[in-house]
Amino acid sequence: MSAPDAELKTASPAAIYRIVMAAAGEFAPQLRRCLWLLVLTAALQGLAFALFVPLFRALLAGGAAEVRSYLYAITSLFVLTTVTRWFSYDFDYNGHAAGAGDSLRRRLGLQLRRIPLQVLYRRRSGETGAMLAGTVDDVVNYTLTVSAMLIPALVIPAVFALCITWYDWRFGVLLAALFALLFAVVKRMRPRLSADRSETAAALDDLNGELLEYMQGLPVLRSAGCTGERSARLAAAAERVRKVQEDVSVREGLPNLFIGSAVETAMLAALVFGLWQLSSGRTDAAFLAALIVGIVRFGEPLGYLLSYTAVYEMVVQGYLKLREFENIKPLPVTEGGKVPTAYDIEFDNVDFAYEGRKENTLNRISLKIPARAMTALVGSSGCGKTTLARLIMRYADPQAGSIRIGGTDIRSLPEGELMKLVSIVFQDAYLFDDSVAENIRMGRFDASDEEVEQAARTAGCHDFISRLPQGYQTRVGDIGGRLSGGEKQRITIARALLKNAPIVILDEPTAALDTQSEVAVQQAIDALIRDKTVIVIAHRLSTVSGADNIAVMENGRIAEQGTHAALLAQDGRYAELWRYQNEDWAA
């Protein structure tokens, strides 16, 4: 059971109130005022209905002056409730809800930048996107709506019963007992409602993740001819949502009918008791008539109390999910770190294991990467090459050992300072659905148009950019879909050139390109890595044979290292891989 699910079963209304106020941020005072106005509105309504007792008694007694007094009082209370109700919706109607949603999204966006990548990668991007967009809107927009349903359903009967006690304590005790029994049933049902909302939310999150992956991977799926197989997964996720929602409806349908019937039965019992009291002379007709008016007013909302609670639990589930996301701790930054002025990198006895795995991915890694030189990481798939490179960017902290840049432990560097030191060019170039210029400018946001163009020229992409419909202002499409693989790769290199970080990580950027594109991209890379500390993750050994140092990884360890010639002379693992790749190429 996840933390939110467990907390849902135990969170008190007071704890949930604090969570909601925290989520509202700077708009909490406005929300708090609106909620208390809803309570005041409901309390005034309960008091107004209780005044029907003396009003009806005055009517039956023929006291015109008293009747007018009570009519004025009741009318004044209803006018006042109209005013307070109007102001109780100020949070929605004056834009405070929109402001709270925007503020919450901004806080979550800032948190998104602080979350360790290892934690973030555990989440499917579709689920995270749905949470940042849909969940925020749902909880903010429904908060006042749910409150406007629940508060009157609870407060009006409570105030009415309290006032009735003043007139006849026996009816007050009877109503209080009936309400207590009803609330006990709802409280007992709440864990089931919470679990249902959690299960529904999990199914919807899974569907959102599948849908986003399907949309993003559609070109690949079509080219591979496996849209049907992936569509089946998407359909299965949609079917799970349908099944969960159907099961929830079945599970909650009978309790809802039971609660509605129980409320009607309880109200009928109160009326029967009143008639019995009337027939025996223990109460009067005016009191019974007022009791009927009150029961008619709050009986129906009480009948829907379980349904209201189900919607309430949906909103609470959303708030707890958002709070769980906000409470993810960033990687700690130790004190005393100085921004490096030298850019050699050293791994010192580093052990690392991914969360949830028992075995280490990296074991006792000790490796020195000299400044202004190229170091290649090679080895078979799964040997730890990419993990080693990720740790330089503080994807996560190792369980043992340290990583230093220029003698400074990277754990003592704020993330912003560390990221200034490193540029990375991935095998799968990622561009945002923005203009070409803005995609390049992500390397340095304050860069001028001239600097952007110069970076593009150096990366060898100015010519094809100039041929685009709007040149540098042409939007590249989702994930750069309007450009070829080689064009996208050169734009990411232009981005890295503009950033001009002293350390460059290359994750086999030419592996998926045709020969012509590979030549163009390689020329751009040559310009990028000049006078830089370069780490290359290589699968094809021929691309790194000229590296200053080659570290051969095997089973999470450094098996051997040296230059290409030295490693061939050792006739070890590298020589074995070299022969295998060359034989495969020759075949």
Stronger pLDDT, 254 or 524, i.e. the higher one: 524
Model pLDDT, residue 215: 65
**Residue 451: is it exposed, middle or buried by C-beta count within 10 angstroms (0-12/13-18/19+)?**
middle
- Three-state secondary structure readout of 532-565: CEEEEECCCHHHHCCCCEEEEEECCEEEEEECHH
Structure confidence at residue 44 as a pLDDT band (50, 70, 90): very high
Q: What is the token pair recorded at 297? A: 């007013």
Which contiguous run of DSSP H or E holds residue 578? helix 573-586
Residue the block writes with tokens 């569509």: 231
Structure confidence at residue 252 as a pLDDT band (50, 70, 90): low
3-state secondary structure of 370: coil
- 389 φ, ψ to 5°? -65, -40
Model pLDDT, residue 36: 92
**Residue 175: is it exposed, middle or buried by C-beta count within 10 angstroms (0-12/13-18/19+)?**
buried
In contact, 392 and 419? CB cutoff 8 Å: no
Checking if the pLDDT of 498 tops 80, the result is yes
Checking if the pLDDT of 348 tops 90, the result is yes
Q: For 412-432, what is each residue's pLDDT tens digit?
A: 988 888 888 988 887 777 788
Structure confidence at residue 1 as a pLDDT band (50, 70, 90): very low
Q: What is the token pair recorded at 190? A: 């709440």
pTM above 0.75, yes or no: no
What would the mean pLDDT of 172-201 be, rounded to a whole number? Answer: 76
Which residue type does 190 have? R
CA distances from 351 to 10, 408, 468 (A): 39, 19, 48
Structure confidence at residue 352 as a pLDDT band (50, 70, 90): very high
Helix, strand, coil shares, percent, the chain, to 5 = 70, 10, 20
Structure confidence at residue 254 as a pLDDT band (50, 70, 90): low
Count of C-beta atoms within a 10 Å radius of residue 92:
18
Structure confidence at residue 229 as a pLDDT band (50, 70, 90): low
Stronger pLDDT, 86 or 177, i.e. the higher one: 86
Q: Which residues contact 342 (CB under 8 A, 6 or more apart)?
A: 371, 406, 407
Model pLDDT, residue 221: 52
Q: What is the token pair recorded at 325? A: 């996301």
Checking if the pLDDT of 227 tops 60, the result is no
Q: Classify 296 in phi/psi space as left (phi over 0), alpha (psi -120 to 50) or beta.
A: alpha
What would the mean pLDDT of 443-453 be, rounded to a whole number? Answer: 89
Checking if the pLDDT of 7 tops 50, the result is no
Tell me the C-alpha distance between 505 and 519, whole Å: 19
Q: Which residues contact 520 (CB under 8 A, 6 or more apart)?
A: 460, 486, 490
Q: What domains, with CATH codes, occur in the chain?
A: 13-326 (1.20.1560.10), 345-586 (3.40.50.300)
Structure confidence at residue 346 as a pLDDT band (50, 70, 90): very high
Model pLDDT, residue 551: 92
Q: For 538-554, what is each residue's pLDDT tens digit?
A: 888 887 888 899 999 98
Write the DSSP string, 50-83: HTHHHHHHHHHHT-HHHHHHHHHHHHHHHHHHHH
By residue count, the chain amounts to 587
Tell me the C-alpha distance between 493 and 506, whole Å: 10
What pairs with residue 578 in β-bridges? none
Checking if the pLDDT of 79 tops 90, the result is yes
CA distances from 578 to 25, 228, 499 (A): 59, 39, 35
DSSP 133: I
In contact, 482 and 470? CB cutoff 8 Å: no
Instruction: Determine the angle formed by the axes of helices 64-88 and 28-50, rounding to 10 degrees.
Output: 160
Tell me the C-alpha distance between 163 and 50, whole Å: 6
Tell me the C-alpha distance between 497 and 479, whole Å: 20
In contact, 421 and 404? CB cutoff 8 Å: no
What would the mean pLDDT of 389-397 be, rounded to a whole number? Answer: 88
Q: What is the mean pLDDT of the chain?
A: 81
Tell me the C-alpha distance between 461 and 488, whole Å: 9
Count of C-beta atoms within a 10 Å radius of residue 315:
21
Structure confidence at residue 403 as a pLDDT band (50, 70, 90): very high
Write the DSSP string, 202-260: HHHHHHHHHHHHHHHTHHHHHHHT-HHHHHHHHHHHHHHHHHHHHHHHHHHHHHHHHHH
3-state secondary structure of 160: helix
Strand bridging mode 400-405 / 345-352: antiparallel
What would the mean pLDDT of 93-118 be, rounded to a whole number? Answer: 81
Tell me the C-alpha distance between 158 and 54, whole Å: 19
What would the mean pLDDT of 291-310 be, rounded to a whole number? Answer: 75
Structure confidence at residue 5 as a pLDDT band (50, 70, 90): very low
